[in-house]
Amino acid sequence: MTQVPGYSYGSPENTTSPVSLTDLDQLKATLLWSDDDERWRRRAGELLTPQAEDILDVWYGFVGSSPHLVSTFSGADGQPDGDYLAAVRRRFALWIHDTCSRDLDQAWLDQQHEIALRHTAAKKSATDGVNSTSAEVPLRYLVAFIVPLTVTVEPFLSSKAGPDDDVAAMMTAWFKAITLTATLWSQPYADGW
């Protein structure tokens, strides 16, 4: 997994997240995170990770058809940069895996912080060396993305679920995980976070 350019999970070069493990525990409590959620989050990962490219086809389909979203991937000429979109897509596939399969520990927090910074003027476009006309991804889209990133995975879970799988429980765990990451990604945007 670490062969993807710009994928930095566990790298000592990642900035330490300003969010503490205590903060993370409090966020999880606020999300009503349970042991069942943890179990079903991991099971969802077993089903979603092999389907990541198909999931990304859906996600990139609605990003690509939405000028206000795809504009955040523009190059200096103001047009969507195909290489930039492709580079982010490769890391996005790994993010699906990490969201479901990684321990929610300091390394995971640090990776979420790195991703958060890459949405802001602090690091946007720097990883891929793009001279983008978009200085940052507006926070409103990070929050709003909770819905499409959640509702679009149900068919992927349902299509691979076994007789002992609880798709509703996996959807709940996925929704909580997506909400948690979006919340963590909002940290660099907000004073008093």
pLDDT tens digit sequence for 132-190: 888 899 999 999 999 999 999 999 999 999 999 999 999 999 999 999 999 999 999 98
DSSP state letters, 92-132: HHHHHHHHHHS-SSHHHHHHHHHHHHHTSTTTTTTTTT---
Residue 10 is assigned to a structural domain of this protein: no
pLDDT of residue 101: 97
Our count of domains for the chain comes to 1
Residue 5 is assigned to a structural domain of this protein: no
Residue 60 is assigned to a structural domain of this protein: yes
Residue 69: how many CB atoms within 10 A of its CB? Answer: 18
Burial class, 149, CB count within 10 angstroms (exposed 0-12 / middle 13-18 / buried 19+): buried
Residue 8 is assigned to a structural domain of this protein: no
- Domain that residue 27 falls in: 21-189
Residue 120 is assigned to a structural domain of this protein: yes
Read off the pTM: 0.94
Residue 13 is assigned to a structural domain of this protein: no
pLDDT of residue 76: 85
- Residue 92: pLDDT over 60: yes
**35-87 confidence digits (pLDDT tens):** 999 999 999 999 999 999 999 999 999 998 999 999 999 888 889 999 999 99
CATH number at residue 101: 1.10.490.10
Burial class, 186, CB count within 10 angstroms (exposed 0-12 / middle 13-18 / buried 19+): middle
pLDDT of residue 38: 98
Residue 3 is assigned to a structural domain of this protein: no
pLDDT of residue 135: 87
Residue 15 is assigned to a structural domain of this protein: no
CA 150 vs CA 65, 67, 175: distances in Å: 19, 21, 6
